[in-house]
Amino acid sequence: MSKLSQDSIKTVKANIIRLLYDEYPKSLSATAIGKYEARDKQFVLRLLLELEKDNLIKTIKKTNQGKPFLKKQKWTLTDKYFNFYKNQ
């Protein structure tokens, strides 16, 4: 497998943020994001964790009914960054 350049990784991260912005307040799984980006789920998950570390996105760990997800995680933009991108 070929390695991606840092510019390509930044582009994929920007696409993930744009996708999460377009779907806000709905949260998406790494699998759904990977299908949209045509990327491997593990690669997308690694990028999501990096974005979460930068406080751009957050993990949703519970269903709408308040029950915790057993095996999956969903992701959405933080409210702060949604408002930031909305005002751009």
* Confidence at residue 20, expressed as pLDDT on a 0 to 100 scale: 92
Report in angstroms the alpha-carbon separations of 31 from 7, 11, 35, 79, 81: 23, 18, 6, 23, 23
CATH number of domain containing 58: 1.10.10.10
Domain range enclosing 72:
6-86
Tokens in use for 29?
């799984």
Considering the domain boundaries, does residue 29 fall inside one? yes
Instruction: Share the mean pLDDT of the chain.
Output: 87
Do the beta carbons of residue 75 and residue 24 sit within 8 Å?
no
Considering the domain boundaries, does residue 1 fall inside one? no
Considering the domain boundaries, does residue 55 fall inside one? yes
**Concatenated DSSP letters of 47-67:** HHHHHHHTTSEEEE-B-TTSP
* Confidence at residue 1, expressed as pLDDT on a 0 to 100 scale: 46
- Say whether pLDDT at 42 is over 80: yes
| Number of domain units in the chain | 1
Considering the domain boundaries, does residue 52 fall inside one? yes
Using alpha carbons only, give the angle 41, 35, 31 rounded to the nearest 5 degrees.
40
